[in-house]
A = this chain, B = another copy of it.
């Protein structure tokens, strides 16, 4: 137990995940309402939009208006996602976002071919070019990420050594443009991770790159999200992507059962109860989670927003309200 970290950093991805993968159109004003609500919870990093082609992701067509509309709160990093220079320029043009670069490789060659029609060699070349783009735009790059780091629906299990190798390639690609990678995000894009594989991969990455910070991006499609986060905590991982109320879905057609990121308030609950600081006010976050359900108009998978917190029960016991 003493090995658990004292504090973690949560990167809230709910707005992007939720607005991106929900089927129906969500009014811009309601997206802004959710972001503003999240800004009031103590979260200090919130991903608010994707600057991607609206033909591919219609739910993000209003990304510029969303970013223009929310109320910025000091101390919070508002981030966004983009896939190319056009997206980056849109993000920079808002003047309201924390724009930092990230280099990514996909650990599954089959998926890479299928999804982006690239070979592994082309993937790394593309990332070299992305690193150059960041340099040209004076955008700092400290982060690398590996997609499908735990397995792939089209290729199967991903060898640990392959992920370790890809991280080295990204470190080199960044270095060639004068950047130093400080953080690597291991993304369980298709929900193949288990607590055992989280420990195995995090352990291997930590051993090879002892100076890198490690982040986990977990999906809950097979109910392993919180257990995988716990395994990460046991390995000293201190950065987690998560999604309020479990908002989100799978970006890949053909997997309708896929779930969103691990649920933020369930993660905060676990941390609160284990003495790990998150900076987040769980009661306020539950208000946001319920708002998220209202915004998307259907039940979302989060548990604690339904089951309630233990802190509230302890308070009720103290004041006699539980009797």
Contacts and interface: CB of A to CB of B under 8 A. Distances in A.
A152 to B, nearest CB: 9
A25 interface: no
Q: How many copies does the complex hold?
A: 2
11 contacts: A1-B199, A1-B200, A194-B270, A196-B273, A221-B303, A221-B307, A222-B266, A222-B307, A223-B303, A227-B227, A258-B307
A302 interface: yes
Contacts of A270: 194-195, 224, 227
A314 interface: yes
Interface stretch (A52-60, A136-144, A153-161, A206-214): A153-161
A307 B230 contact: no
A269 to B, nearest CB: 6
A223 B269 CA distance: 9
Closest CB pairs A-B (n = 9)? A223-B303, A221-B307, A257-B306, A223-B266, A227-B227, A196-B274, A222-B307, A194-B273, A227-B230
A91 interface: no
A322 B108 CA distance: 14
Interface string A216-232: 00001111101101110
A151 interface: yes
A194 to B, nearest CB: 4
A184 B118 CA distance: 56
A192 interface: yes
A154 B226 contact: no
Interface residues of A, number: 49
A7 to B, nearest CB: 15
Contact of A156 (B4, B194, B313): B313
A310 interface: yes
A258 B313 CA distance: 14
Contacts of A258: 307
Given A222-B307, A303-B221, A196 B227 contact: no
A244 interface: no
Interface string A289-323: 00000000000001110111010011001000011
Contacts of A269: 222-224
B226 A303 contact: no
Contacts of A171: none
Contacts of A259: 303, 306-307
Nearest to A266: B223
A154 B223 contact: no
B220 A303 contact: yes
A223 B153 contact: no
Contacts of A195: 230, 270, 274
